[in-house]
Amino acid sequence: MTPNLTTDEIKSLILRILGEIAPEADLASIKPDISFRDQLDIDSVDFLNFAIALHEELRVEIPEADYPKLATLNGCIEYLTAQRQTSQR
């Protein structure tokens, strides 16, 4: 498990991973409550790579059924924060 991360740190991590997957994306203009797929040119392969990277960086389990919770930036932050807290208990 990586050390405790603040919300801002988790957000930065998400944006960094997104930037690696979709280098052409303007990450500064991402709207936090709009689906990534509606804002970025990403497909199912990109999304899978995104989920794998989050899992590997944060050491959290991400069941396939939870993928929809990763659809937006705010959704991602909320989900990952909760999953990390669950894992730490």
Partner 1 sequence: MAEFRMPTLGADMSAGTLVAWLKKPGDSVKRGDIIAEVETDKAAIEVEIFTSGVIEKLLVQPGEKVPVGTVLAIIREEGKAVEPGRLRISPSAKQLAAELGVDPASVRGTGPDGAISRADIEAVARRARDKGLETIGEEPVRPLAPSPAPLAPAAETAAKRQARMRQAIAAAMARSKREIPHYYLSTTIDMGRAMAWLSEKNRKRPIQSRLLYGVLLIKAVAVALREVPELNAVWKGNQAVQSQAIHVGVAISLRQGGLVAPALHDTDRQSLDQLMTNFLDLVKRARAGSLRSSELSDPTITVTSLGEQGVETVFGVIYPPQVALVGFGKMMDRPWVAEGKIVPRPIMTATLSADHRVSDGHRGGLFLAAVDRLLQDPSQL
Q: Which two tokens stand for residue 83?
A: 């999953």
CB of 63 to partner 1, least distance (A): 7
Residue 74 half-sphere exposure, CB side, CA atoms within 13 Å? 5
Site string for partner 1, 61-80 (x = CB under 8 A): xxxxx---------------
Site for partner 1 contains 4 (CB under 8 A): no
CA distance 39 to 80: 21
Site for partner 1 contains 1 (CB under 8 A): no
CB of 77 to partner 1, least distance (A): 19
In terms of CB distance, is 8 or 38 closer to partner 1?
38
> What H or E segment, with its residue span, contains residue 50?
helix 44-58
CA distance 10 to 58: 9
Which residue ranges make up the site for partner 1 (CB under 8 A)? 22-24, 37, 41, 43-45, 48-49, 51-52, 55, 61-65
